[in-house]
Structure 1
Amino acid sequence: MITEYRIPGETGEIPVRILRSARKSIGLEVRPSGEALARIPRGLSDRELKAFLERHAGWIREKHALSLKRMDSRLSTGAVPPAELTREEKEKIGRKIQERVRFYGEKMGVSWGTITIRNQKTRWGSCSARGNLNFNYQLYYLPQELLDYVVVHELAHRRYMNHSAEFWKEVERYYPDYRNAREKLKERRLVS
């Protein structure tokens, strides 16, 4: 069973990651990062999968090119590449993000587990079911209001582990201008 298929593109091959599950239909997606995914039924043969991907190769190429164009037009975070960060810079980044988590966590009345700060290729932050918070180090280089929005967003997951209407009300309660912050984050490109 194949786990990746490559479609020839204008600037090289486009890898399509294959995810098998109990679904009945094939789902095809090209994420804003340019990553291509095919969600397929477990019983689908490799031959059927290849035929499907070849039939949709033009669509994949088109969406992939569009996502790369959008990424190129976005503003860089201006972050120092991870390999060039000094220990002092890493500590400074950690202190700043932890300070904002403490500030909003106390305000919101929520607890959290471990705070991890690292380079994430596609995410600004995440919250695990155990309450552990992960933040992209590049948030440090953005205006503080964007860092604060991501912190509030992840802490709101301590009450709602979803993106329901209640979740967004919780975010809005502590960060009223969240819609504007979300739009500004979409305009930013992560440094790899």
Structure 2
Amino acid sequence: MKIEFENEIIECNVIYGNREKISIQIDSLGFITVKAPNGTSEAVIVKAVEHHGKKIVDKLHLIAEARNKPRTKEYQEQGKFLHLGKEYFLHELIDTAGLDEEELKKNLKKFYFNSCKKVIGERIKSYQAQLKVKPKSIEIEESRTKWGSCSSSKNLTFNYRLAMAPIDVIDYVIIHELCHLLHMNHDRSFWRRVGSIMPDYKEKEEYLARHGQAMTL
């Protein structure tokens, strides 16, 4: 469905189901999902989207701005890279002596993989205890579209680029995926469970939407 709002086109994917209210979700890539009760008219959906139009458009602009930021990295000692939400010179993260750009990039990616594995391994334990869940496996992977995922077999995967994010943002992704062990869909029960552990989770989503494109090699 395409809805015009203040000279902007808001494109939504509408999903109908057994629910009481309309909800609107925007993922970190700018994909909008409207979930509506069965039988909801198009006019009611349009009105709901228009009611939140300013907030939706502002968030889409933030995502587009982050996506269009320069992504060229300087693979030299004074090049700066994110780690746990802070900027460091490359030589502060890995040994740079005598290495060419390809070797530096390879070693830096290895550093992030190891860091991500270590941080998630340490942080996930307390949240598992709070939620009373246990994943079958935990893997670190490379992905351009997902920060984390949970399979129907209870296998969790996390994007190695999370090592560039602040700890509280990493915690949000951990909580998000652990909650999928209880609720596989993004329904109200799922978000209530996430919010019970991290009430300000929307701020973490906003961080990923705003800074996600800068968290790259």
Aligned length: 132
Query: Given the superposition, is the C-alpha separation of residues 93 and 166 from structure 1 closer, same or farther in structure 2, using an over 3 Å criterion?
Result: same
User: 1:103 and 2:107 equivalent?
Assistant: no
Cα distance in 1 for residues equivalent to 2:166 and 2:147: 14
Cα distance in 1 for residues equivalent to 2:64 and 2:150: 27
Give the aligned partner of residue 67 of structure 2.
Answer: 71
Comparing 110-119 and 160-169, the one that deviates more: 110-119
Indicate if the aligned counterparts of 1:131 and 1:158 stay in contact, CA closer than 8 A.
yes
Give the aligned partner of residue 12 of structure 1.
Answer: none
- Counterparts of residues 111-150 of structure 1 (less than 5 Å): 111-150=134-173
Cα distance in 2 for residues equivalent to 1:102 and 1:172: 18
- Counterparts of residues 5-154 of structure 1 (less than 5 Å): 70-73=66-69, 78=82, 83-85=106-108, 90-154=113-177
Q: TM-score, normalized by length of structure 2?
A: 0.52
Cα distance in 1 for residues equivalent to 2:205 and 2:176: 10
1:179 to 191, 199, 202: 202
What stretches of structure 2 of length at least 5 have no aligned partner? 1-26, 31-62, 74-80, 84-89, 91-103
Cα shift at 1:91: 3.1
Cα distance in 2 for residues equivalent to 1:154 and 1:147: 11
Give the aligned partner of residue 158 of structure 1.
Answer: 181
Cα distance in 2 for residues equivalent to 1:74 and 1:176: 33
Query: Given the superposition, is the C-alpha separation of residues 121 and 133 from structure 1 closer, same or farther in structure 2, using an over 3 Å criterion?
Result: same
Comparing 129-138 and 78-87, the one that deviates more: 78-87
Query: Given the superposition, is the C-alpha separation of residues 162 and 33 from structure 1 closer, same or farther in structure 2, using an over 3 Å criterion?
Result: closer
What stretches of structure 1 of length at least 5 have no aligned partner? 1-30, 35-66
Q: Secondary structure at the match of 2:68?
A: helix
Give the aligned partner of residue 59 of structure 2.
Answer: none
Q: TM-score, normalized by length of structure 1?
A: 0.58
Cα shift at 1:86: 6.8
